Amino acid sequence: MKPINFPERIIWYSIIGTYGFYLIGGLYIVGSAIGWILLIYLGKKLWNQTQTTPLEERIDIPFMIWLWIGAMIVMELALIVGHYNFGLTTSLLIKSSIGWAKGWALLAVFPLVGLLKIRPQLLWRAACIVCFQTLVFSPVFFLAYFLHLPEMPYVSPLRIVGGPSDEFFAFRLYEIDPSNMLPRWRLFTPWAPALGFMANIYFFMALQETNKKWRWIGIAGSIFMCIISASRLALLSITVVFLVTWVLTNLARPFVLIALGFGSFITSLITTTLFNSYEAFQQKFADARPESSRVRETLAKIALYRSWNEAFLWGHGVVEQGPHLVEYMPIGSHHTWYGLLFVKGFVGTLALAFPLLCSFLYLLVIAQKSETAKVAFSIVLILFLYTFGENLEILSYLYWPGLVIMGMAFKGEEQTHISLSKYKGRNIYLEGELPEKI
């Protein structure tokens, strides 16, 4: 499996070079830059496109991608209005807009990139290679803990280019969870739960790999990342998304419909038991890391209260540092919806909820017959689940391969085959700034 054109080379080497870029502290820069580089490339192709352009060379932007483009522009509009309403300076607005370009904007940029001639099989293999590298390099990270080496040997000098925090440019061998004093690993991500996030993305990409050896390596590596991240949400997500995807993308099969009908009947008989079990599970989930759960709950209450009473429609424009009660974590962090309500208000919240819901419904329909759409559907489910534990925009530089797959799915399986036919056989935290997770 080798790249055969410019966009494939950019994507291939950006993914398989993950650990190399992490070693020099350049992963955040690479993930933020390649989307705009490929967008310029796409723009050039669109500019040169004419009526005489061969069908296999033409690029048409689907409605679903236009929807994401419009929604992310609304995000920037909410950002501008929020800065204006609270009298923030022009320099702060410029910095926040740069943060938007490296965060929320990528949720529209990378699906656009998916319209280029990029084989999905290339991404499946690249994901498996990263999982393989994880299995190979992980003994070094484990050994560092057992030898009591420094947790963070250095922060890359590339930090000078600017970014959310030092964690995005730091090389960290391991970390100690203060809630239980046990080790956990973040590897190439800025915090451990983000590693679980990426493990989920790579897991569903690896499932599509046709080579059995690489597929099992990808599956093993992604599950391994979930475990060492010690992320509760990661383990829950990988299970729930797998089951939900399998059921909802096989609705055309009679036995699935029969099983769902029978399951609905049984569920109606044991509703009380299921409700009690859910409450017990939720309590155990919170008790697994009680201090983290407390901080997250308090942050949510502060964000909701201040959003409702101070800036419900357009938000505050920036993320503000929280009090000692929440360990000075920024208000609006650790949760996408609360973060949007606080920073961009109801307008910004709707700008994510609407395209996410439309993507879910659209992909649900086409995933019945398209394997690429099935992966994109799983990715949308993962993004939705992680809105309750992460700020999506801050990690878009990592999970961008999933966004590219979404763009491929929006383009349509048939158009994908047509376009590739010729290759057969080849303190105030500005927008995009958050400190380390809890």
Q: What is the pLDDT of residue 423?
A: 42
Instruction: Report DSSP state, residue 177.
Output: E
Q: What is the pLDDT of residue 339?
A: 84
Band of residue 421 on the pLDDT scale cut at 50, 70, 90 = very low
Most confident of 249-253, 380-384, 385-389: 380-384
Beta carbons within 10 angstroms of residue 423's beta carbon: 13
For 331-376, write each residue's pLDDT tens digit.
767 678 888 888 888 999 999 999 999 999 999 999 988 899 999 9
Give the residue-averaged pLDDT of 188-199. Answer: 92
Residue 431 pLDDT greater than 90, yes or no? no
Measure the CA–CA gap between 313 and 345, rounded to whole angstroms. Answer: 5
The percent of residues above 90 in pLDDT, for the chain, comes to 48
Give the residue-averaged pLDDT of 294-308. Answer: 78
CB of 396 within 8 A of CB of 403?
A: yes
For 11-55, write each residue's pLDDT tens digit.
999 999 999 999 999 999 999 899 999 999 999 988 888 887 777
Structure tokens at 377: 């559907």
Residue 387 pLDDT greater than 70, yes or no? yes
Spatial neighbors of 389 by CB under 8 A, at least 6 apart, are: 193, 233, 296, 334, 335
Continuous H helices in 207-270: 212-229, 232-248, 254-269
Q: What is the pLDDT of residue 300?
A: 76
Band of residue 57 on the pLDDT scale cut at 50, 70, 90 = confident
Q: What is the pLDDT of residue 412?
A: 79
Give the residue-averaged pLDDT of 103-120. Answer: 93
Distance of CA 282 to the CA centre of its chain: 24
Beta carbons within 10 angstroms of residue 178's beta carbon: 12
pTM for this entry: 0.86
| Residue matched to tokens 């992490």 | 22
Long-range residue pairs from 74-78, CB within 8 A, at least 24 positions apart, any chain: 74/347, 74/348, 74/350, 74/351, 75/100, 75/104, 75/105, 75/344, 75/348, 75/351, 75/352, 76/100, 76/104, 76/105, 77/347, 78/314, 78/315, 78/344, 78/345, 78/347, 78/348, 78/351
Q: What is the pLDDT of residue 232?
A: 84
Cβ burial 120-140 (10 Å sphere, 16+ → b, else e)? bebbbbbbbbbbbbbeeebee
- H/E element, 171: strand 170-171
Enumerate the domain spans of the chain.
Answer: 6-249+290-429
Q: Which of 102-116, 211-225, 273-287, 406-420 has the lowest mean pLDDT?
A: 273-287
Band of residue 419 on the pLDDT scale cut at 50, 70, 90 = very low
Q: What is the pLDDT of residue 291?
A: 62
Structure tokens at 297: 């709950």
Tell which residue, 21, 17, 100, 77, has the closest CA to residue 392: 100
| C-alpha pair distances (Å), 328 with each of 296, 305, 428, 437 | 12, 17, 11, 11
Long-range residue pairs from 416-419, CB within 8 A, at least 24 positions apart, any chain: 416/120, 416/372, 418/55, 418/56, 419/56, 419/57, 419/117
| Residue matched to tokens 């419009």 | 70
Tell which residue, 304, 335, 331, has the closest CA to residue 318: 331
Q: Which of 88-97, 157-166, 420-429 has the lowest mean pLDDT?
A: 420-429
Residue 127 pLDDT greater than 70, yes or no? yes
Give the residue-averaged pLDDT of 239-263. Answer: 75
